[in-house]
Amino acid sequence: MLNLHCRTCDQAFVAGPASFASLHHTTDGLIGYARCPTGHVNVVNFHARVHPVEAEASRVTAA
């Protein structure tokens, strides 16, 4: 189960396996298309969900 947000109806929703219309392995990583309870399709990029500390650490460069 994933907590997602629909940008069309501006609602949070819980997506399970039945919510996903399709999943695709791309060069950018795993991409999914999930439907919110009102029927809007949302694109979910699973590799875009980076922990803030990891994102900050990746920007640090050695002097």
What are the pLDDT digits (tens) for 3-61?
999 999 999 999 999 999 999 998 888 899 999 999 999 999 887 655 555 545 455 55
For the four alpha carbons of 1, 28, 61 and 59, in that order, the dihedral sign comes to negative
Spatial distance between the Cα atoms of 54 and 37, rounded to a whole number of angstroms: 32
pLDDT value for 29: 84
CB 30 within 8 A of CB 37: no
pLDDT value for 23: 92
Which pTM does this prediction carry? Answer: 0.65
pLDDT value for 52: 54
CA nearest to 30, candidates 44, 16, 50, 13? 44
